[in-house]
Amino acid sequence: MKRVSPVVAALCAGCAAAQIIATFQVHFSNGAVLDDALLLERQGYFIIPAGKALSALADWSTAFLGGLFFTCTIGAGLSLAAVAAMLAIRSVPLRRIVSSAIVGFLWIVFLWIVFLGRLLSGGVDFFITAYGVIVPSATAAVFALFRRTGGEADRGETGSRRIFHVLAPGILLLLWLSHAGDGSFLDFRDSILLSNPLGRAVNDFYYRYTLYPAEAVKFLEAKTLKTCRLENLSKPSIETALRRVLLPRDYLPVGPGQPAKLVVRQRENELELYDGSRRILTVAIHDFLVNCNDRLKDFSERTDRYGPFRQATYFALLLATPLAFYLLLWSILAAIVSAFTKPRRARLWATVLSCAVGIALFAPFYRYRTAVAPDVSASLRSSL
């Protein structure tokens, strides 16, 4: 344990906790998709996913592999935030300024509560709460354990070396953010992943398994399967009209008493839209038929619990995922180089080599981004 950095150990612990939560989250989501698919199949619909993709929804291995996406994004982000908080608290000299340490700790706790409240602003969710509580707690506990039991891999460094260890990934992150934006992930795929066998394997894995975690946090309009149930309709013509507007929008009516994502009930000249037993919208029949897209969009937005979680996942993918992989690479290189030299010198070389790898990855991405933009502009001008 003496050669393991508390930061790396804490990051691994937080990501391990996130992986457990993500596996259960994706598994339960897959189960719901499987139930909907089998229900619609019994109702006579031709559904997607089908075949092996459908049967894979019940496998724990599918949930585990799909959960890696949340582990590498929101799990890494929460773990790094917890590490940063622990380092901030530890930087205060407790023996001299106890009150400042307490204030700093309470301030970090307050910010954490605000962040968790933001994640839950769309509605209380067990898995979001678990991410926000368990992942930081596991990270902080392991960080404190390694600091106390001899994990002193980062002690004894001079001030200039510590600054170098921090600035190196910071500069790489700034380089990435300076060119991040619309299409940056696709450009990263095209310029780096698709240019070599290992990258293509990573790309194939991503497109094979990210369908499952994405489905777990999609809003209703974006879901692959959308079931609806029509109730208490006074005339067959109203049912026919509703089916005419719902089916082209992939809302598939199911039989009476069957579970559905959207329940439409008539009350006099109005339609009530329910999410389970909770009434979400009340609209006039004519208004719903004429403005069906807008009303379904309103319903989807009001029942969306995962909007803040998706935003946090995106920013984690943008910031935390590259930093987490940098730290993982750094720890591997430090372990290898330490077999040939002193630990402090090994850490220095690990930082240098990790930076070199980061620059080597960024160079083709930068060339691709700067080369594609003029080509697109020229093509647009020539087509006018």
pLDDT of residue 64: 95
- At position 282, the amino acid (one-letter code) is T
- Take residue 72 and report the two structure tokens written for it: 């590498």
Partners of 266 in the β-ladder: 271
> HEC string of 67-130?
HHHHHHHHHHHHHHHHHHHHHHHHCCCCCCCHHHHHHHHHHHHHHHHHHHHHHCCCCCCHHHHH
**Class of the 220-302 domain?**
alpha beta
| Res 123: pLDDT | 66
* Residue-wise DSSP of 117-178: HHHTTT---HHHHHHHHHHHHHHHHHHHHHHHTT--TTTT--HHHHHHHHHHHHHHHHHHHH
User: What ranges do the domains of the chain cover?
Assistant: 6-214+307-376, 220-302
Residue 292: the pLDDT is 93
Per-residue pLDDT of the chain (384 residues; tens, 9 = 90+): 446 678 888 999 999 999 999 999 999 999 988 888 888 888 888 877 677 777 888 899 999 999 999 999 999 999 998 888 877 776 665 545 555 455 555 656 666 777 677 666 666 788 988 898 899 889 988 988 887 665 545 555 556 777 887 888 888 888 888 777 667 788 888 888 888 888 899 889 888 888 888 888 999 998 888 999 999 898 899 999 999 999 999 899 998 889 999 999 998 889 999 998 889 999 999 999 999 999 999 999 999 888 888 988 998 998 899 999 998 888 888 888 888 888 788 888 888 898 888 888 887 777 776 665 544 444 434 433
Distances (CA, A) of 193 to 48, 130, 188, 201, 365: 28, 33, 7, 8, 10
Amino acid symbol at 320 = A
pLDDT, position 375: 47
Nearest to 330 by CA among 172, 164, 165: 165
Q: What was the pLDDT predicted at 176? A: 80
| Cβ neighbours, 10 Å, residue 377 | 10
Q: Which of 83, 85, 84, 104 is nearest to 93 (CA)?
A: 104
